[in-house]
């Protein structure tokens, strides 16, 4: 186990180095960072000087070297646009994103798993057909349309829910949370639903597809023959055996929830990392982009490590090796 | 009914509880004003970024010697009186009894310090500060300002010079303007802290999320109109979300509002759209200097060097259709490169080109392009009001006279990286907008109209390098002539030349577009600045 | 040939197709949409990509049955005066091309990587999966900017426009393949331990044959689920990328671009600019997914 973890740790470091290298190769195509840092009247010479001072004229490999050197000391530079250390900015924004992704993931699982199991057990019923169709509408509408429709209906017409932001936030010193105030929860509802809809569709359909197969496999037939209770068969045997692909996808989805809830966060002006990131792309805020991509690489490495470990604890067939 | 009465009871109990709690902590009628803009101020340092919104917000916290009122007329700020003692010197009398937010008194030393700070490395206000050669202290409340040459616009420029406390800056190691490169390090104290003399104090700030300001009780001016005690500013990036925040009653004022949403705001109860002309002129520019266009089907020559082609373009564009269909009747079609609010504007010279596609076709034929040609048009898609839509409309109009446009619409950071000097002016045909920060026409001439000249830092934004020696001569007069009539004659003459040879294709002044909750009174300034001094809550 | 059709009509596939009206409807809709967009030039009343053919003064006309609408523009016009119906037909062509091609390429890359990684294990698996991790860290937006930048750098000026669509396909395929790879890998790891694979190994079948003939059909279930869903995602992603100036220009809008542009007019009451293209997308995605579900169930050896 120790060897396994050590190996994965080394691999993680390589992944992050590669991500940083690609990131720096990419930044030259994103636009001119200086144009956003100065006023329209600023002279060409002053712009050029600023570029020089920021080291943006150095070859990519040199910029990459500086970045890695500083990053290894835990130093990620300062945001060009917000003029604040990137570390602080990410620490400020991370709680908002994590709370949103956790709630929407829970929502998606709580609704998606039962729906998936039901549609697999009763594939021909009209309710199942309804579930399947409905779930598709959720993904074929673009996220920003869903978000804006929710805002229009619950925010503007009914005026039940706040339309933007995170509500009242309680600062615990190391973490800011919206879970401790009423307006915090209210603000969370619409973005969480918007994010959950997409995840849900995927979960419902994957579980249904996998369960349909497993239910007809030999060992379920054996279980039936042994006279096991039908519910126990569906949940403890069948569902458990469908979980490997489902967990793989859920892992990836949670990763992208944390990383790229960009559209949802901008529609609801949710002060999380997705919003920070999309604005960094638009304004060519290279320090934020590079630190952020590195963080995302870390998130995916960790999630995929957890998923790989989970495989072995869930699927008895894999344990045999 | 019963539910409603139940609600009212609950609400009144709640209100009572809140009222008692509030009464203990702050004055009873504390009024909070909440507003949203599409972005955030980038810094609290008034010298580190010369950008309208940042300076506009900081104008409530810091003050200049000369200020603008709501009609953009110059009024006394931290100076009470000024007069020209010679063509290049101005005598200022400073206001007595003014205190910075930390209690320090305001004196002539702070003004001189501010000017020097604006010249320091890292400042984005260097060009503005360089308009002044020296500031001499007579005594604590009298100074003499010297300009290197006679300069009719220096007073306008001074409205953007915000005075900072010398002692405070020295104490916090902030004597040099902060710059993006030293953010978060020593010398960046003023980026995140302020100490001005303005009527509002920054109470808390989380960039991009929320900034809270409170009223400064010891402000020198007891006559300002506002009755607000607290301001909450939230950046909201998406236009739809911004409008929804206003419609749902969570926010008192939002800007900008998409012009197509005005109708909705007008129909909705309890909110209204507030619109007026902005001083920003939107125009098209053509590469008139290269011998062959970078992005065109025409090889070996540059069609834009032929005045007939430029004229053909001018007559092919239907400004009124753009105004009606895309700007919802809210733009002001323009024949000039500067707006009516700009010092030096003369309505008599403002004659937009006539829409006449037949003439266009004829001119193109004469110029040797009977079947038109293809040219790439560069266009931002998140910078000006409906920019991408305007470009599409122009492309469609030009198609009707035979010119095929390849439209490259990009976000502003990619667009500017391509078309500005840093990208080597890599464009053949482009859309750009310009507001002279000084509100004077000279800025337009020097930035957009004179021939490109790197040494003199002139014509840097003349991306297509329109170049006419006579206009350059006239610009020199505009720069230094203090006799208003003579200066105006030079402006008018230059305007005529530019129009006759179609140096540019002005389109329109775009509208200011704010949405306000009913009962909230605000003044919509032509430079799109929200001055809290004019905000009155019900 | 006659022999083929006879066998086809005798097959289980045809029988299960015939017996489900929903599938027949879905199939017809897909065929209609695909064909009418391929032949948009003949079907559409106007050519919205020809800038000289429409007029700004016709802009924002409501659908024909509403007040102010004209029979000239059955589904109304957009902000530039383009006929919405024609634009949907022409725009679907771009969207379908980008959607199907990018999902197909992503699927092919993902399946190959996933099979190899899951079957081989060890360092090959580790290497491929860490490459996948790198890939996951970059959103489609950044990948598109990178691909576009490189393409522009390599090719002479002016050739960009013709290549825009391919840049989109490559960029979207590159950001989508990981989901398939990780799913196929996880299923392959399970299949590998089963008797039939071990039997195949014992009799010495070549590896590629084992992978594609024997394992692949058994891991296709989740792959098809992801593919049918990603089709919609690809169309929407394409719209986002067009905004960045990477994709097709606004003068030849895709379905996704139409929805994005129409988004600006949701509050102002000109709902038809978004709602019709949106509905077209929803219907297409529904139809493709129903077909996908059916195909998966009908082809799956385990369900027969």
* A161's tokens: 């829910």
Whether residue B77 has pLDDT greater than 50: yes
Q: Which of A203-212, B247-256, B428-437 has the least mean pLDDT?
A: A203-212
**SS3 of residue A85 by DSSP:** strand
Q: What pairs with residue B98 in β-bridges?
A: none
B309 or A141: which leads in pLDDT: B309
Higher pLDDT, B3 or C261: C261
Q: How far apart are CA C251 and CA B391, in angstroms?
A: 9
CA distance B409 to chain C (A): 6
Q: Where in C45-111 does DSSP place strands (E)?
A: none
In a domain, B91, yes or no: yes
Which helix (H) or strand (E) is C183 found in, with range?
Answer: helix C160-191
| B10 domain-assigned | no
Structure tokens at C10: 């005798």
Token pair of C108 as six digits: 């092919």
Q: How many Å apart are CA A262 and CA A164, to the nearest integer?
A: 14
**Which residues of chain B lie closer than 8 angstroms to C263, CB-CB?**
240
Of B389 and C256, the one with more pLDDT: B389
Strand partners, B271: B517
Taking an 8 Å cut-off on Cβ atoms, the answer to whether A201 and C286 are in contact is no
pTM: 0.87
Instruction: Report H helices in chain A.
Output: 2-27, 44-53, 60-72, 86-121, 126-140, 143-150, 182-215, 218-225, 230-232, 240-260, 262-267, 273-282, 286-314, 316-319
d(Cα A118, Cα A115) in Å, to the nearest integer? 5
- Judgement on whether residues B444 and B526 belong to the same structural domain of the protein: no
Q: Residue C285 has what pLDDT?
A: 82
Reported as a single tens digit per residue, the pLDDT across A144-190 is: 788 888 998 999 888 999 999 998 888 887 888 888 888 899 999 99
CA B188 to the chain's CA centroid:
25
Same domain, B65 and B107: yes
Q: Do B417 and A31 touch (CB under 8 A)?
A: yes
Cα angle: A101, vertex A103, A105; to 5 degrees: 65
Which of C126, C263, C286 is the closest to A144 by Cβ?
C263
Interatomic CA distance for residues A210 and A214, integer angstroms: 6
Name every residue whose Cβ is closer than 8 Å to that of residue C162 and which is 6 or more positions away in sequence.
Answer: none
B156 shares its domain with B194: yes
Range with the lowest mean pLDDT among A27-41, A165-179, A217-231, B384-398?
Answer: A217-231
pLDDT at position B9 is 40
CA-CA distances (angstroms) from residue B223 to B60, B196, B205, B226, B227? 15, 19, 28, 9, 11
Quick check: B303 and B369 in contact, CB under 8 A? yes
Look at domain A86-320 and name its CATH class.
mainly alpha
pLDDT at B4: 40
Tell whether B288 is covered by a domain: yes
Structure tokens at B81: 């009186």
B24, pLDDT greater than 50: no
Question: Which chain B residue shows the shortest CA-CA distance from A80?
Answer: B180
**C residues 188..217 contacting A (CB < 8 A):** 189-190, 193-194
Q: Report chain A's terminal Cα–Cα distance, integer Å.
A: 15
Task: Name the closest residue on chain A to residue B50, using Cα atoms.
Answer: A39
Residue B245 lies in a domain: yes
Per-residue confidence (pLDDT) for residue A137, from 0 to 100: 75
Residues B32 and B18 sit within 8 Å (Cβ to Cβ):
no
The verdict on B223 and B283 lying in the same domain is no
Rounded-to-5 percentages of helix, strand, coil across chain B: 35, 20, 45
Using one digit for the tens of pLDDT, what is the confidence trace for A189-231?
999 999 898 888 888 888 888 887 777 776 667 777 777 676 6
CB B386 within 8 A of CB B415: no
E strand or H helix that includes residue B108:
helix B108-119
Interface test with A, best of B184, B447, B461, B465 (most A CBs within 10 A): B184
Are both B165 and B106 inside the same structural domain?
Answer: yes
**Exposure of B403 in the CB half-sphere (CA atoms within 13 A):** 32
Distance CA B147, CA B132 (A): 5
CA–CA gap between residue B247 and residue C267 (Å, rounded): 11
* Mean residue pLDDT across chain C: 84
The pLDDT of residue C84 is: 92
- Check if the beta carbon of residue C192 is closer than 8 Å to that of residue C215: yes
pLDDT, position B16 = 42
> For the ranges A98-107, B27-36, C34-43, C72-81, which has the lowest average pLDDT?
B27-36
Judge whether C216 and C113 are in contact, CB under 8 Å.
Answer: no
Of B182, B208, B417, the CB nearest to A82: B208
Based on the structure, what is the number of domains in chain B?
2
- In this structure, the answer to whether residues B413 and B486 fall within a common structural domain is yes
What is the rounded average pLDDT of the residues B232-255?
A: 93
Say if strands B404-410 and B374-380 run parallel, antiparallel, or are unpaired. Answer: parallel
Q: What is the pLDDT of residue A260?
A: 65
Q: Do C249 and B408 touch (CB under 8 A)?
A: yes
Q: CATH number, domain at B44?
A: 3.40.190.10
Please indicate, yes or no, if residue B268 is contained in any of the structural domains.
no
For C46-59, write each residue's pLDDT tens digit: 898 888 888 888 88
Sequence-ordered list of residues with C-beta below 8 angstroms from that of B74, at least 6 positions apart, any chain: B66, B67, B68, B155, B156, B159
pLDDT for position C161 = 63
Which ipTM score applies to this complex? 0.86
pLDDT classification of A253: cutoffs 50, 70, 90: confident
> What 3-state DSSP class applies to C112?
helix
How far is the first Cα of chain B from the last one, in angstroms, to the nearest whole number?
A: 28
User: Is the pLDDT reported for residue C214 higher than 90?
Assistant: no
The residue with greater pLDDT, B25 or C284, is C284
With H, G, I as helix, E, B as strand and everything else as coil, classify residue B372: coil
Q: Are residues B236 and B282 in the same domain?
A: no
From A281-285, B222-226, B388-392, B483-487, the region with the lowest mean pLDDT: A281-285
Q: Do B413 and A164 touch (CB under 8 A)?
A: no
CA-nearest of B238, B317, B280 to B511 is B280
> Are B132 and B247 part of one and the same domain?
yes
Whether B349 and B423 map to the same domain: the answer is yes
Q: Which of B182, B183, B245 sits opposite A79 (nearest CB)?
A: B183
Query: According to the model, what pLDDT value does residue A233 have?
Result: 67
**Average pLDDT of chain B?**
89
Instruction: Provide the pLDDT confidence category of residue B360 given band limits of 50, 70 and 90.
Output: very high
In a domain, B303, yes or no: yes
- In a shared domain, residues B297 and B197: no
Please indicate, yes or no, if residue B272 is contained in any of the structural domains.
no
Q: Tell me whether residues C285 and A136 touch, CB distance under 8 A.
A: yes
Instruction: Determine contact: C202 vs chain B, CB below 8 A.
Output: no
- Report the phi/psi class of residue B330: left, alpha or beta, with left for phi > 0 and alpha for psi in -120 to 50: alpha
For residues B131 and B178, membership in a common domain is answered with: yes
Q: Residues near C156 by Cβ (< 8 Å), separated by ≥ 6? A: none
Q: Residue B47's domain spans which residues?
A: 34-252+520-534
User: Is the pLDDT score of B314 beyond 90?
Assistant: yes
Confidence of residue C236 (pLDDT cuts 50, 70, 90): confident
Q: With an 8 Å Cβ cutoff, is B322 touching chain C?
A: yes
SS3 content of chain C, % helix, strand, coil (to 5): 75, 0, 25
Residues of B in contact with A45 (CB under 8 A): 457
Locate the domains of chain A by residue range: 86-320
Q: Which of C52, C60, C244 lies nearest to residue B400, judging by beta carbons?
A: C52
pLDDT band at B374 (very low <50, low <70, confident <90, very high): very high
- pLDDT at residue A76 above 90? no
Query: Residue B266 falls within a domain, yes or no?
Result: no
User: Mean pLDDT across the stretch A239-248?
Assistant: 75
| Chain A residues in contact with B235 (beta carbon < 8 A) | 269
**C222 touches A: beta carbon within 8 Å:** yes
Strand pairing partners for B282?
A: B433, B508
User: d(Cα B86, Cα B71) in Å, to the nearest integer?
Assistant: 28
The band of C105, judged by pLDDT with boundaries at 50, 70 and 90, is very high
Q: Does one domain contain both B115 and B50? A: yes
Nearest to A44 by CA among B459, B122, B154: B459
Strands (E), B236-270: 253-255
pLDDT for A321 beyond 70? no
- Cβ contact A315–C190 (<8 Å): yes
């Amino acid at each position: 186990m120790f060897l396994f973890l050590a190996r994965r740790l080394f691999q993680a470091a390589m992944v992050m180095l590669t991500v940083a290298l690609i990131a720096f190769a990419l930044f030259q195509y994103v636009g001119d960072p200086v144009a956003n840092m100065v006023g329209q009247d600023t002279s060409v010479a002053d712009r050029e000087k600023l570029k020089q001072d920021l080291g943006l004229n150095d070859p990519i490999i040199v910029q990459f070297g500086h970045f890695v050197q500083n990053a290894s000391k835990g130093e990620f530079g300062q945001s060009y646009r917000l003029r604040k250390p990137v570390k602080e900015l990410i620490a400020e924004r991370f709680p908002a994103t994590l709370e949103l992704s956790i709630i929407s993931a829970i929502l998606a699982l709580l609704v998606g798993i039962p729906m998936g199991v039901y549609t697999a057990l009763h594939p021909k019923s009209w309710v199942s057909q309804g579930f399947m169709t409905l779930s598709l509408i959720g993904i074929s509408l673009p996220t920003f349309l869903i978000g804006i429709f929710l805002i229009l209906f619950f925010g503007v017409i009914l005026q039940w829910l706040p339309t933007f932001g995170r509500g009242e936030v309680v600062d615990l010193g190391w973490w800011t949370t919206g879970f401790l105030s009423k307006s915090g929860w209210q603000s969370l509802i619409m973005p969480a639903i918007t994010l959950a809809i997409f995840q849900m569709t995927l979960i419902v359909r994957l579980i249904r597809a996998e369960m349909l197969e497993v239910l007809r496999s030999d060992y379920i037939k054996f279980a039936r023959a042994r006279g096991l209770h039908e519910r126990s068969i569906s949940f403890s045997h069948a569902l458990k055996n469908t979980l490997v692909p489902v967990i793989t996808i859920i892992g990836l989805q949670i990763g992208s929830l944390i990383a790229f809830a960009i559209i949802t966060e901008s529609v609801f002006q949710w002060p999380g990392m997705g919003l920070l990131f999309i604005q960094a792309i638009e304004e060519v805020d290279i320090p934020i982009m590079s630190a952020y991509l590195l963080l995302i690489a870390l998130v995916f490495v960790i999630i995929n490590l957890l998923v790989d470990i989970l495989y072995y604890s869930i699927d008895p067939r894999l344990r045999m090796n | 009914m019963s539910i409603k009465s139940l609600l009212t009871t609950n609400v009144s109990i709640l209100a009572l509880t809140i009222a008692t709690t509030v009464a203990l902590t702050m004055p009873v009628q504390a009024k909070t004003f909440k507003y949203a803009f599409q972005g955030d101020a980038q810094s609290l340092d008034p010298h580190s970024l010369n950008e309208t919104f940042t300076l506009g917000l900081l104008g409530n916290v810091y003050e200049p010697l000369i200020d603008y009122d709501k009609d953009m007329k110059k009024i006394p700020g931290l100076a009470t009186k000024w007069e020209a003692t010679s063509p290049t010197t101005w005598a200022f009398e400073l206001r007595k009894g003014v205190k910075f937010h930390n209690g320090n008194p305001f004196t002539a030393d702070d003004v001189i310090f501010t000017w020097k700070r604006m010249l320091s490395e890292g400042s984005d206000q260097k060009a503005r500060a360089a308009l002044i050669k020296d500031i001499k202290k007579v005594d604590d409340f009298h100074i003499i300002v010297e300009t290197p040459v006679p300069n009719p616009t220096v007073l306008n420029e001074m409205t953007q010079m915000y005075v900072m406390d010398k002692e405070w800056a020295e104490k916090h190691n902030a004597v040099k303007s902060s710059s993006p490169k030293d953010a978060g390090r020593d010398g960046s104290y003023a980026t995140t802290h302020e100490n001005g003399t303005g009527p509002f104090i920054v109470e808390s700030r989380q960039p991009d999320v929320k900034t809270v300001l409170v009223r400064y009780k010891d402000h020198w001016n007891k006559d300002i109109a506002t009755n607000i005690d607290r301001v909450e500013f939230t950046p909201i990036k998406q236009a739809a979300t911004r409008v929804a925040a206003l419609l749902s009653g969570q926010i008192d004022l939002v800007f900008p509002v998409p012009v197509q949403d005005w109708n909705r705001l007008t129909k909705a109860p309890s909110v209204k759209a507030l619109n007026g002309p902005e001083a920003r002129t939107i125009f098209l520019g053509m590469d008139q200097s290269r011998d062959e266009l970078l992005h065109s089907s025409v090889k070996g020559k540059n069609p834009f060097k032929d005045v007939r082609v430029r004229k053909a373009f001018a007559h092919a564009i239907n400004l009124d259709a753009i105004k009606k269909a895309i700007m919802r009747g809210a733009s002001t079609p323009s024949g000039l490169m500067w707006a009516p609010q700009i010092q030096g504007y003369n309505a008599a010279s403002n004659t937009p080109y006539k829409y006449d596609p037949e003439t266009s076709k004829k001119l193109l034929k004469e110029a040797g392009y009977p079947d038109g040609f293809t040219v790439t048009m560069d266009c931002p898609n998140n910078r000006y009001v409906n920019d991408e839509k305007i470009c599409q409309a122009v492309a469609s109009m030009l198609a009707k006279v035979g010119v095929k446009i390849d439209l490259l619409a990009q976000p502003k950071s990619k667009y500017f990286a391509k078309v500005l000097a840093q990208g080597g002016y890599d464009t053949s045909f482009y859309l750009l907008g310009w507001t002279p920060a000084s509100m004077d026409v000279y800025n337009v001439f020097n930035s957009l109209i004179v021939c490109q000249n790197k040494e003199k830092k002139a014509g840097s934004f003349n991306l297509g390098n329109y170049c006419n020696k006579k206009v350059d001569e006239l610009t020199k007069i505009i720069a230094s002539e203090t006799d208003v009539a003579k200066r105006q004659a030079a402006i008018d003459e230059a305007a005529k030349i530019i129009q006759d040879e179609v140096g540019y294709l002005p389109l329109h002044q775009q509208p200011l577009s704010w949405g306000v909750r009913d009962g909230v009174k605000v003044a919509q300034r032509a430079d799109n600045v929200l001055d809290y001094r004019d905000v009155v809550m019900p | 040939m006659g022999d083929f059709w006879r066998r086809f009509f005798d097959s289980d596939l045809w029988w299960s197709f015939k017996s489900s009206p929903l599938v027949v409807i879905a199939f017809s809709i897909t065929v209609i949409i695909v064909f009418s967009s391929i032949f948009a030039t003949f079907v559409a009343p106007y050519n919205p990509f020809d800038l000289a053919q429409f007029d700004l003064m016709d802009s924002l006309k409501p659908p024909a049955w509403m007040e102010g609408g004209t029979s000239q523009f059955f589904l109304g016009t957009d902000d530039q005066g383009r006929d919405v119906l024609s634009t949907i037909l022409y725009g679907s062509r771009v969207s379908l091309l980008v959607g199907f091609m990018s999902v197909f390429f992503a699927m092919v890359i993902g399946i190959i990587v996933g099979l190899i990684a899951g079957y081989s294990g060890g360092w090959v698996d580790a290497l491929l999966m860490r490459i996948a991790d790198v890939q996951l860290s970059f959103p489609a937006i950044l990948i598109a900017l990178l691909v576009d930048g490189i393409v522009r750098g390599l090719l002479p000026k002016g050739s960009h426009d013709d290549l825009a669509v391919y840049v989109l396909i490559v960029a979207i395929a590159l950001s989508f393949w990981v989901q398939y790879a990780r799913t196929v890998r996880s299923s392959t790891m399970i299949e590998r331990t089963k008797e039939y694979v071990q039997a195949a190994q014992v009799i010495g079948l070549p590896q590629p044959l084992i992978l594609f003939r024997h394992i692949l059909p058994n891991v296709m279930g989740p792959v098809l689920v992801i593919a049918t869903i990603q089709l919609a995602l690809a169309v929407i992603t394409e719209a986002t990328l067009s905004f960045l100036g990477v994709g097709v220009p606004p003068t030849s809008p895709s379905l996704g671009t139409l929805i994005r542009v129409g988004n600006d007019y949701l509050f102002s009451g000109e709902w038809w600019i978004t709602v019709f293209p949106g509905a077209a997308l929803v219907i297409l995605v529904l139809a493709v997914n129903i077909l996908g579900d059916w195909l998966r169930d009908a082809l799956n050896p385990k369900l027969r």
